[in-house]
Structure 1
Amino acid sequence: MELLLEYGWVLLVLVALEGLLAADNALVLAIMVKHLPEAQRKKALFYGLLGAFVFRLGSLFVISFLVDVWQVQAIGALYLLYISINHTLKHFIKGKKPTEDAEPKPEKPKKQSGFWMTVFKVEVADIAFAVDSILAAVALAVALPPSGIPDIGGLDGGQFIVIFLGGFIGLIIMRFAASYFVKLLQQRPGLEVAAFIIVGWVGVKLAVITLAHPDVAIINHHFPENPIWKAIFYVVLVLIALVGWFTSTKQEVSSDQNAVKEVEEQQPGNSF
């Protein structure tokens, strides 16, 4: 029962994190294809959603065979910390830029990409989001106790199933519930910052796992499974989410800034 609860809790955290990342993914895709004619726009988004599934699944199987290599763990930890710090700094720097007092400068119209170049850019974005998603999921699940299910690649079978379910549910969210999460992120922008801080905290966890690897042995090999460390990790994770929620002032979104409408209108199911 205790094992089931621990796996269930990690899956719940994964679903919440995947939901926010999937909303970000869906919003980015909607913005990237916005300049295309309606028919091409919906096709490009369809390819984007298909690519998101393929790349997430591919990343999962690749990482399952490399997850026990400490160099891969180290690169993954550094990458998660990088995107967390980079995204957070960009948010605060953007927030400090003068907007009201500064005189608007005339912008030159940008040359927009054609259909296939847009699809290519969408797929590159999918790869980046897939790597973010799977690395975060692996860092959360890899410290779970053995489930007794046969290994898949270098992962315990139970850990693999949790990561797969988290990623799969994230795709479902991106396809059917993205508009709700996008609306939530627009109304409470602090949640997006909190989500990427959580990604950074997950990177810290992956760094701890790397340092505890037998070939590195800087800290005790059993430390990542230590109940005190696990409790500290999840308490901090929940606190980050709560601070993000309560410090993010709810904002009204005007119709011309309604990204929810963009995401809903560009769902492939509306045209196929």
Structure 2
Amino acid sequence: METDFLISLLQIIAIDILLGGDNAIVIALASRNLPETQRNKAIFLGTGLAIIVRIILTVLAVYLLNIPYLYLVGGILLVIIAYKLILEEDEDLNVKAGKSLSDAVKTIVFADIAMGLDNVLAVAGAAHGNIILVMIGLLVSVPIIIWGSKIILHFMERFPLLIYLGAGVLAFTAAGMITEEKMIHSVFADNPMLEYGVYIFLILGVIFGGIFTNKLKGKTTK
């Protein structure tokens, strides 16, 4: 049981870091026009509120996933998110700089909600209904995201393998959500090889599907 808890916690931390890499950029953009003293306040207030909102949304998602077939739907959506993560697309962050402390804080919180829906879904799936896991994962990973995101992004750019590893973690989480869907769980419980097959198929499918799409896009743009 302790091993399962630790694996789920590591999954949540990895997901938070992987999908939260843009959060520090949002914070910097939203508070860039403020004086130095207010900038620090905006960062701490905005981040603090964003964490609270993220916890509330994730807790809601955890309970919503108890609805029949939502685990299955959530798992499929997470597969799509994992696949899109690998695709080599530049996303422009259109974040308006706040002119006041309250403006900057609101921008940080709303941008985090808009950008964090994939994160919420992934963490809810990895938590398996354990709210304590959600909170510990967020409390551990958010400081890493804020103070270490530039380093994380640098390593991701320098070592693309980390992106594929991260996509594999998301695909692993998605496979767990799909096979643990209560309405179809008996199928996998009676056939463990089928369950392993789903894990292997989704992880390899996401990674190689992303690689193939990137190569195809590279050929068409040349």
Question: What amino acid maps onto 1:28 in structure 2?
Answer: V
The equivalent residue for 2:49 is 51
With normalisation by structure 1, the TM-score equals 0.56
Following the alignment from structure 2 to structure 1, what is the Cα–Cα distance between the partners of residues 190 and 7? Answer: 15
Native 8 Å contact 2:171 2:206 kept in 1: no
Determine helix, strand or coil for the equivalent of 1:162.
helix
Following the alignment from structure 2 to structure 1, what is the Cα–Cα distance between the partners of residues 161 and 73? Answer: 28
1:20 matched to 2:6? The reply is no
Q: Deviations over 1:146-183 (max 9, x none)?
A: xxxxxxxxx3xxx3333332222112323454454244
The equivalent residue for 2:99 is 114
The equivalent residue for 1:168 is 139
Following the alignment from structure 1 to structure 2, what is the Cα–Cα distance between the partners of residues 240 and 199? Answer: 9
Following the alignment from structure 2 to structure 1, what is the Cα–Cα distance between the partners of residues 28 and 178? Answer: 34
Question: What amino acid maps onto 1:185 in structure 2?
Answer: M
The equivalent residue for 2:119 is 133
TM-align CA RMSD: 4.0
Higher helix share: 2
Shift of residue 58 of structure 1?
Answer: 0.9
Native 8 Å contact 2:74 2:174 kept in 1: yes
Match for residue 213 of structure 1 among 182, 193, 212: 182
Shift of residue 200 of structure 1?
Answer: 5.2
| Structure with larger Rg | 1
Question: What amino acid maps onto 2:142 in structure 1?
Answer: L
Question: What amino acid maps onto 1:58 in structure 2?
Answer: I
Q: CA 1:83/1:111 → structure 2, altered by over 3 Å: closer, same or farther?
A: same
Determine helix, strand or coil for the equivalent of 2:66.
coil
Question: What amino acid maps onto 1:140 in structure 2?
Answer: A
Following the alignment from structure 1 to structure 2, what is the Cα–Cα distance between the partners of residues 195 and 203? Answer: 12
Q: Deviations over 1:67-120 (max 9, x none)?
A: 21135435534543454444544x34x49xxxxxxxxxxxxxx98553344432
Following the alignment from structure 1 to structure 2, what is the Cα–Cα distance between the partners of residues 62 and 207? Answer: 19
Match for residue 40 of structure 2 among 29, 42, 55: 42
Question: What amino acid maps onto 2:134 in structure 1?
Answer: I
Question: What amino acid maps onto 1:114 in structure 2?
Answer: K
Unaligned runs of 5+ in 2: 211-222
Q: CA 1:183/1:66 → structure 2, altered by over 3 Å: closer, same or farther?
A: same
Following the alignment from structure 1 to structure 2, what is the Cα–Cα distance between the partners of residues 167 and 67? Answer: 19
Shift of residue 62 of structure 1?
Answer: 1.8
Match for residue 124 of structure 1 among 95, 110, 113: 110
Q: CA 1:236/1:179 → structure 2, altered by over 3 Å: closer, same or farther?
A: same
Question: What amino acid maps onto 1:223 in structure 2?
Answer: F
Native 8 Å contact 2:29 2:97 kept in 1: no
Unaligned runs of 5+ in 1: 96-109, 143-154, 245-272
The equivalent residue for 1:62 is 60
Match for residue 181 of structure 1 among 141, 152, 155: 152
